[in-house]
A and B are shown apart, each in its own frame.
Chain A
Amino acid sequence: MTRDRLLRRTVALAAAAGLALTAAACSSGSDAGNSGDSGKPAAGASLDPNTKVTISIDCQPPTTKPAERKQWAEDVTAFNKLYPNVTINAKDASPCEEPASFTAQLKGKTQPDVFYTYFTDLEQVLDADQAEDITQYVNEQTVPALKDIDPSVLKTLTSEGKLYGLPTTNYKMGLLYNRKLFKQAGLDPDKPPTTWAEIREDAKKIAALGNGVNGYGDYSATNQGGWHFTAELYGLGGSMTTEDGKKAAFNTPEGKQVLQNLYDMRWTDNTMGATQSLKWPDLMTQMSTDKLGMYVGAPDDITYMVQTLKGNYEDYGMGPMPGGRGALLGGADYMFKKGSTPDQIKAGIAWVNFKWLTMGKGQFDYARTKADGLPVGLPQPFLFGGSTLDADNKAKAASATVPVQNYAPYLATSVPGKTEPANAQQIYKVLDGAVSAVLTDKNANVDKLLSDAESQVNQVLANLQ
């Protein structure tokens, strides 16, 4: 055998072996980070400081957000002073959850030990059987502010009496508006409209400014049209589904009013512009360039418009949800990967509690947030009630860096929060079609659109039973 032949054979066999090993590695899934001790102390007890445990966590701020990333690192250091036995393997991501990748992660069981989800993800995560029941681990010893967390928030993370996650932030939707355009149109920027009739009138005045300025805007693609339809319906007191979640409940006068308002503003008033099929973050882009007067959104849209789109806090105001009967409530949380050891779950809960749920620490260290040049004073999150809420409000006011008075109309009106329907994305997709139709088809028939959407949603819900 010549040296060449020997070399060729060796290379070929090594290549084949390498591929086989790669394939095996891919198929076995990674268990990195699951190195916690599987001892079984009482579940409700705090983490034993003598137990070495490693956890992986996502949603570390990316390098493009240096201040937030620095804060994360500081918090890990401070946390490790309390829990030197815990090693945190942080994974950065922006956005923290990208739905397609998240779905694939669940399917491949490759999400971190402590993983970020939206409130609406619970059903999907449970169907994939990828979250641990943490009910027995969460109590006032492990999460001292537990009694003050808004019950409606915890409800979104609970299924059949079992708790599957801890919240980190939440929002209640309202009316975002451009104060600069309000002034230019002769409107009072401290008195935003609170009904759809007022919105229509104000939108006409703003659109009359010309130069491509639209009075009102709305999403109508990638399920966000359905999401906003839901928010606007909640504002009028409607519901998307029946109490048991088995039937559509939006084919009502309120549902019709939502679509009719949009149709009238688009085609009768011509205050929404010809460019439609908008999706996140199109409306923010329009508003930050002073091309849009109003839209329905969450308070953290303001942060995005300032930090990413280079707008000014002074130019944006927030009012209550039009109609004032209900405001769509959403948010994000951390869940705990199926198969995590009790110590990993305890370590994860300790971290989430430290970083996200403790006054004066982590996200509630407003003095640090102010010193780092990040906004303080936005009406979000509002995870707590009771004494924790009072303490939060005081601390926030003491370090406020944004014009808090711009959000006074939003805060002054107490609109009850209402969570998104179960199987939200499937329902939103159907309603996306209806919203898209009234915004792109002058001959759209609102009654027929609603009735078609109702039967489609009923079919979708029946299939999910």
Chain B
Amino acid sequence: MAAISVSARRKTEPPAHADPSQGRAALRQRFRRHLTGHGFLLGALLCFAYFSWYPMVREVIMSFQKTKRGKTTWVGTENLDRIFADPDFWHAWRNTLLFTVLALVLGFAVPFVVAVLLNELRHAKAYLRVLVYLPVMLPPVASVLLFKYFYDPGYGLFNAILKSLHLPTSAWLNSPTTSMLSVVIAATWMNMGGATLIYLAALQGIPGELYEAAELDGAGLLRRIWHVTIPQTRLILSLLLLLQIVATMQVFVEPYLLTGGNGPRNSTLTVVNLIYQYAFSFNNYGSASALGLVMLLVLAGFSALYVRLSRTND
């Protein structure tokens, strides 16, 4: 195949000693032939350049600039120094890491378990899949407001249930100790449908013979999961884990809507919330860009790992 395409290419390319006018004509011919493709490619390139690459380059530039009274000056690493000296910087990273860990414990394990259970079920599979996916179809704001009502310490659903069971109630979003967990529970409920479907697809790619062989060997459900399911889905699990890390570290909507961004004693202030505050509350685009750059570098590390794993998967 490779030999055919090489020979085909050779037929269209002029030899090195050919007449220059013939070479130009061939070039024009080739350009005309690929005009459509280049036209579409140009559109995509312009889109990416203007809406993705240009803002990223601007962000890096603005990380080292400061604007005062309309004058923009280069300030070296001043913005970075300033954000590192801001106590909220460390608060935000601590909270973001806490959110990521909690979101992975809940948001990674729960969908996997649900997917395994759905895969094992013999009846009502389709209905249950719809039920699991339903929260993803709700607009995030609607879901968050629903949870805000559930969490209200005075009239919320959760405390009403706890009271009816004669269990101690919680302050949920109103306490520094429980606010982040409350945000994670809401986020997990909102997003687990998508992850569950991906796990389910991976599970269904496992050859049935492996399970049959395991069953013949006397393996129960847990042993089948341990010896067949997990090894067979290891790469998908690793990739999804990395994607979830990258996604959860950029959490913004849930804490912003549930707790106003900061939460009790800054307990739900995340890095992206802090970027938002620098930019839109304090009009400090330099610090916002610098923090964005730090975030970019951290997430780039995880993304590199993801690319590496993807190649392994291929």
Listed in ascending order, the chain A residues whose CB lies under 8 Å from chain B are 5, 8-9, 11-13, 15-16, 19-20, 23, 26-27, 99-100, 103-104, 106-107, 124, 126-130, 212, 221-223, 273-277, 279, 338, 425-426, 429, 432-433, 436-437, 439-441, 456, 459, 463
Contact = CB atoms under 8 A, between A and B. Distances in A.
B154 A275 contact: yes
A17 to B, nearest CB: 9
B95 to A, nearest CB: 13
Chain B contact patch, size range? 35 or more
B87 interface: yes
Given A12-B36, A440-B171, A221 B281 contact: no
A23 B51 CA distance: 9
5 contacts: A12-B42, A15-B39, A20-B46, A103-B280, A273-B154
Nearest to B32: A1
B283 A16 contact: no
Contacts, number: 123
SS of A interface (majority): helix
Nearest to B42: A16
Interface stretch (B67-75, B99-107, B213-221, B234-242): B67-75
A274 B39 contact: no
Contact of A436 (B70, B262, B277, B279): B262
A277 B174 contact: yes
**Which of B86, B153, B173, B260 is the most central at the interface, judged by chain A CB atoms within 10 Å of its CB?**
B260
B64 to A, nearest CB: 16
Contact of A19 (B46, B87, B263, B285): B46
Given A128-B67, A222-B261, A277-B263, A440 B283 contact: no
Nearest to A27: B50
Contacts of A16: 39-40, 42-43, 46
A7 to B, nearest CB: 10
A221 B179 CA distance: 14
Given A20-B46, A432-B262, A212 B155 contact: yes
Interface in B227-273: 259-266
Contacts of A19: 42-43, 46-47
Given A16-B39, A128-B70, A437-B264, 10 more contacts: A5-B36, A12-B40, A15-B43, A130-B70, A221-B262, A275-B153, A275-B174, A277-B173, A279-B260, A440-B265
5 closest cross-chain pairs (CB), A and B? A129-B70, A12-B39, A221-B260, A440-B264, A274-B153
B265 A99 contact: no
B266 A433 contact: yes
Interface in B1-60: 35-40, 42-43, 46-47, 50
A464 B310 CA distance: 46
Given A429-B281, A440-B175, A127 B67 contact: yes
A459 B85 contact: yes
Contacts of A276: 174, 264
A126 B39 contact: no
A221 B174 CA distance: 11
A435 to B, nearest CB: 10
A128 B66 CA distance: 11
A259 to B, nearest CB: 13
Contacts of A433: 262, 265-266
Interface string B163-203: 00000000101111000000000000000000000000000
A103 B173 contact: no
Contacts of B67: 127-128
B46 A425 contact: no
A8 B171 CA distance: 62
A222 B260 contact: yes
A437 B279 CA distance: 25
B155 A440 contact: no
A437 B262 CA distance: 11
A23 B176 contact: no
A426 B287 CA distance: 13
Given A441-B264, A463-B82, A274 B171 contact: yes
